[in-house]
Structure formats: C-alpha cells, structure tokens
C-alpha cells in the first residue's frame, strides 16, 4: 500500500471548503487530536479511535494484522489506557466516495453507522463495507489480546444520517467534516457538543480547521511529516 501523502498547508485549507475533499491523513491527524488528554490532563479513556488507515486496508483486502501502523493503533507503550475497558470504538471509512463514521458500543452491543451524505436512505453499500470492518475489528481483538472476551451475539445496528444537511451541499462533497464531528461528539447514544469542553454546540468546519492548523502545540502523537507541513 502506498504511503499516504503528507498534506501541504494550502491543501489543508482547501480540504475544508464547500468543494473540498478531506484526505485520510487529515482524518487521522484529527482523530489523534481527539484522543489526546483533556485540558485538565484527564484521558478520554472510555473511547478509542481507529484511524482511516485501518478501514482503508480492510476495504482494500490488504493484510491489516501484520501492518505495523495498524498494530500501533491497538497496542504499544504510547497507549496510556486499557483498551479492553473502552466502551466506544470509532473509525471512518469512505462509502460511495463519501465519509461515513462507524461506532462500536461495547457496553450496549450496538453498532452505529453515521452517513450524513446518505440522501436516499439506502444502506446496502454501507452494509457490505461495515461487514468487512466488523470482521476485521473482531479479528484484531482476537489476535492482539489474550483474555478479552466479547459477546458478539445479537448486536443492534443503528443507521443515522442528516438528510436536510445533505441537500444543501454541492455534488461531490464528501461529508468529511460531518464524519469528524460525529467522531468527536458521539457518546454512544447521541451526538452533542464537544466532549472535551462545556460547549453544547457541534464543532464547525472552521473549528476543525483551526484545531488542525494548531496541531504542533498538541500533546497527541502526530506524523512528523504532518507537523512539518503545518510549520512550513
């Protein structure tokens, strides 16, 4: 698999425009930022993000188990919390060229599929890809951990969209900001304000862009190429 291209400064800004397209490495940088400790130093240790690299390799039929980048998303000294105790796992995947968010609620045994751009309410394409991700998710737990037992029977599947919003977007818009906002604010039941601040409003594209352009001051682990391009 080709190494993801590190975004240049001008590319980053253009990705968040009305006609922009959010790149996977941009998603991954923000997901890492979402995972970092709160301003008060406490960890959001009840949730864990799997980067777009995970979903891309799975959908492409590539070997994700042996991939070092995938292994590091599950195990390693850089992970400060016990992943097996996380209530919520989330990732992002492209379906029909639009970003979709996937959330595994381990406590409620519920899988939530959020596709803000799904105008027609038909989920066949999503179901096919989600089935692949469900299989890979379960396989990673079985391979990377011992003694982590999950009851995989009778999981509920919840589909969510934003049909009113999707009607206002131009053709070709990939709903990356909406998928990222969902990942940042979804608590397993509802999507609300930032989980890391008292704000009751969802983050806008401008806020996501602001956070992205200030990643060099964050405590989360980020790709060196990404930080260099922001500094430039």
Count of C-beta atoms within a 10 Å radius of residue 188: 17
Q: How far is CA 126 from CA 16, 40, 91, 131, in A?
A: 24, 38, 14, 8
Q: Could you tell me whether strands 110-114 and 98-105 are parallel, antiparallel, or unpaired per DSSP bridges?
A: antiparallel
Count of all residues that appear for the chain in the document: 232
Cβ(191)–Cβ(202) below 8 Å: yes
Closest CA to 231 of 220, 216, 212, 219: 216
Question: Which residues in 122-147 are b (16+ Cβ under 10 Å) and which e?
Answer: ebeebeebbeebbebbeebbeeeeee
- DSSP secondary structure code for residue 162 in this structure: -
* Per-residue pLDDT tens listing for the chain (232 residues): 444 444 555 577 778 877 778 999 999 989 988 887 665 555 568 899 999 999 999 999 999 999 999 999 999 888 888 899 999 999 999 999 999 999 999 999 999 999 988 877 789 999 999 999 999 999 999 999 999 999 999 999 999 987 555 566 777 889 998 899 999 889 887 765 444 333 334 456 777 877 777 665 444 454 444 444 444 4
Q: Which sequence spans correspond to the domains of the chain?
A: 9-231
Task: Please name the helix (run of DSSP H) or strand (run of DSSP E) that holds residue 29, with its range, or none.
Answer: helix 24-35
Return the structure tokens found at 88: 């919520």
Secondary structure, 3-state, 26-85: HHHHHHHHHHCCCCCCCCCCCEEECCHHHHHHHHCCCCCCCCHHHHHHHCCCCCCCCHHH
Burial of 92 (C-beta count, 10 Å sphere; 0-12/13-18/19+): buried
CA distance 35 to 219: 10
How much is the pLDDT for 121?
Answer: 78
How much is the pLDDT for 196?
Answer: 39
CA distance 47 to 92: 14
β partners of residue 90 = 49, 103
Return the structure tokens found at 151: 């009851």
How much is the pLDDT for 59?
Answer: 96
CATH number 3.90.1150.10 is the correct assignment for the domain at 9-231 = no
Torsion angles phi and psi, residue 103, rounded to 5? -130, 125
CA distance 83 to 85: 5
Cβ(52)–Cβ(27) below 8 Å: yes
């Amino acid at each position: 698999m080709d190494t993801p291209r590190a975004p240049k400064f001008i590319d980053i800004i253009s990705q968040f425009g009305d006609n922009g397209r959010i790149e996977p490495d941009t998603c991954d940088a923000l997901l890492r930022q979402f995972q970092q400790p709160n301003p008060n130093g406490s960890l959001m240790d009840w949730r864990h993000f799997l980067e777009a690299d995970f979903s891309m390799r799975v959908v492409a039929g590539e070997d994700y188990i042996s991939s070092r980048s995938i292994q590091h998303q599950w195990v390693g000294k850089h992970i400060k919390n016990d992943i097996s105790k996380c209530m919520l796992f989330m990732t992002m995947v492209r379906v029909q060229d639009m970003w979709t968010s996937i959330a595994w609620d381990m406590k409620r045994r519920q899988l939530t599929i959020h596709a803000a751009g799904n105008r027609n309410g038909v989920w066949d394409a999503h179901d096919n890809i989600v089935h692949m991700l469900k299989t890979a998710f379960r396989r990673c737990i079985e391979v990377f951990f011992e003694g982590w037992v999950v009851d995989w029977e009778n999981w509920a599947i919840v589909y969510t969209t934003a049909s009113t919003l999707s009607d206002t977007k131009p053709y070709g818009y990939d709903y990356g900001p909406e998928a990222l906002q969902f990942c940042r604010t979804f608590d397993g039941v509802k999507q609300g304000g930032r989980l890391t601040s008292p704000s009751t409003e969802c983050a806008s594209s401008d806020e996501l862009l602001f956070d992205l352009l200030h990643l060099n001051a964050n405590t989360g682990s980020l790709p060196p190429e990404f930080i260099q391009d922001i500094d430039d």
